[in-house]
Chains A and B, each alone.
Chain A
């Protein structure tokens, strides 16, 4: 069974389009995250949700809107896609959000290419 899954795996689209990436975890975790890995392989946190509430928004443009319909899902909607949005987007989850211990479990990534 896949612990953290993302769909789609690949996404190729035109500039200006709106697209969504879905994430689901079956680990029973309370906290979910979105990370972005750019072309230089630099990984950076975008959002964090705990019990469906937003905890972190790391100065991400308003065009990115996460939505958490329930604790097991955290979707990412992107409006008016730009060339610079091309990256790999990873979803992750963890049992708790606070404290220094605890592992995060990552999905396989969604490779977004904006043309």
Chain B
């Protein structure tokens, strides 16, 4: 499985946009880019995923570089409730196991 690299931690101010980067230089053509987050004392929560095009949903936006070697999760207006560990995960389109391989993620702190 291709690996992802994320900063260990980031800080943001409340109500400002947050851009969480992820590098995946060894991504293959069939790998989907997934983002999950884990709020304190809770289970991981699906945020968004994409393959080649940018994606938007009610939680966030996902911007994927043209060469697909990196992506950015965008929270448009951070709230205190967005403080969590954010995981960028690659899943192969040919996978038949469904497993998610979690790295260390990025711990996002949101300051009031």
Contacts and interface: CB of A to CB of B under 8 A. Distances in A.
13 contacts: A4-B43, A35-B100, A44-B102, A48-B98, A56-B97, A56-B99, A92-B43, A94-B98, A96-B98, A97-B96, A100-B32, A100-B95, A104-B100
A101 B34 CA distance: 8
Interface of A: 4, 31, 33, 35, 41-45, 48, 50, 55-56, 58, 90, 92, 94, 96-109
Contacts of B100: 35, 45, 104
Given A33-B98, A48-B98, A100-B91, 4 more contacts: A4-B43, A41-B85, A45-B99, A92-B44
Contacts of A108: 42-43
A63 B41 CA distance: 26
Nearest to A49: B98
Contacts of A56: 97-99
Contact of A97 (B38, B49, B93, B98): B98
Q: What is the predominant secondary structure among interface residues of chain B facing chain A?
A: loop
B45 A98 contact: no
B33 to A, nearest CB: 9
B98 A31 contact: yes
Contacts of A105: 46
Given A55-B96, A97-B97, A103 B102 contact: no
Interface in B36-80: 36, 38, 41-46, 49, 51
A106 B43 contact: yes
A111 B30 CA distance: 36
Nearest to B49: A101
A98 B32 CA distance: 12
A106 B36 CA distance: 10
Interface in B1-59: 30-32, 34, 36, 38, 41-46, 49, 51
Nearest to B33: A100
Given A106-B45, A107-B43, A100 B99 contact: no
B97 A48 contact: yes
> Which of A103, A105, A107 lies at the interface centre, i.e. has the most chain B CB atoms within 10 A of its CB?
A103
A95 to B, nearest CB: 10
